Amino acid sequence: MNYYARKCVPKKVESFSGESECLPRKAQTKLAFELKEEGFRLKDILLVVGIPEATYHYHVKNFGKEDSDAEIKELIRHQFKQFHERYRYKRITKELKKLGHCVNHKKVYRLAYAGIKLKCVKFMQKSRKYNSYKGKVGKVAKNLISRRFNTPIPLQKLVTDITEFKCLGEEKLYLNPILDLYNGEIISFGIKKRTTLDLVMEPLDETIEIIKNHATYRTDVHSDQGWHYQHKQWVKTLKKNKIFQSMSRKALRRQRLDGEFLWHFKARNVLWGKTSKL
């Protein structure tokens, strides 16, 4: 009888116990129940399927019962779609708590990935911070911002950096925005297929015109130590227009966190069709 039971079980059953592609216990129980209905001995079926008898009877007892987590599953699915498949379980948990649902993040994790099988792939390998550092090739300015990334004055503190985006095939695009820390607004930006000096100079020229017409206080432009920002043309242009240059210290990620990575997250969202507030 054991031989015939094996012949009736799909090939996947052989990898049920302990393998990465195992079906859930509930699915195993359903398969075992169907085989039992066909007349096979339960003892032989459980041996082939590889589940304990107690587990089998537990799930059989719950056949036909309503899913107690159906409502929370639907909420998780709704939040996942609402935020364009960008939120993982921790952020979904926070959104559920905002709506008044007291739920543990571990339960959300279990329901989202094991139950509903949601998968957040929106930003996987799509963008990354472009590293333009080539050592000291020009002037390295002082860190005037010094982690003070808040200001009540428009156009007082501006930050800029370059982000690399992967497109179709092997093509890449490089985005260089200039962002105002007063309200998170992108003053100007450049986007090109190559990281030439024009990528940073063109947005700077546009920003200078805005500063001349609207700035009420001196302006600091903060960046990393990439070769673009050490270049003599960049330095000379800032000095000519009485704009103070600021650079983060090399390898101190905390100093660059707000100034360079905050807008990088926003640039990512804009590219994939969702704007966000900083």
Q: Is the same domain home to 212 and 251?
A: yes
pLDDT of 226 reads 87
Tell me what pLDDT residue 18 has.
Answer: 46
Q: What confidence score (pLDDT) does residue 241 get? A: 94
Please give the angle made by the CA atoms of 229, 233 and 236, to the nearest 5 degrees: 95
pLDDT tens digit sequence for 174-199 = 999 999 999 989 999 999 999 899 99
In a domain, 278, yes or no: no
Same domain, 184 and 243: yes
CB 38 within 8 A of CB 31: no
Residues in the chain predicted with pLDDT less than 70, given as ranges, are 1-23, 115, 120-130, 134, 251-278
135 contacts: CB under 8 Å, gap ≥ 6: none
Is residue 41 one of the residues assigned to a domain?
yes
Q: 53 and 180 in one domain? A: no
Q: Are 197 and 259 in a shared domain?
A: yes
**Does 143 fall in a domain?**
yes
Q: Is 141 left (phi over 0), alpha (psi -120 to 50) or beta?
A: beta
226 & 134 share domain: yes
Q: Do 255 and 134 fall within a single domain?
A: yes
pLDDT of 19 reads 46
Residue 25: domain span? 2-61
Q: Is residue 247 domain-shared with residue 135, that is, in the same domain?
A: yes
> Would you state the pLDDT for residue 278?
41
Domain count, the chain: 3
Kindly list the distances between the CA atom of residue 103 and the CA atoms of 72, 92, 114, 176, 220, in Å, as whole numbers in the listed order.
9, 10, 16, 40, 45
Closest residue by Cα to residue 49 from 94, 93, 10, 80: 10
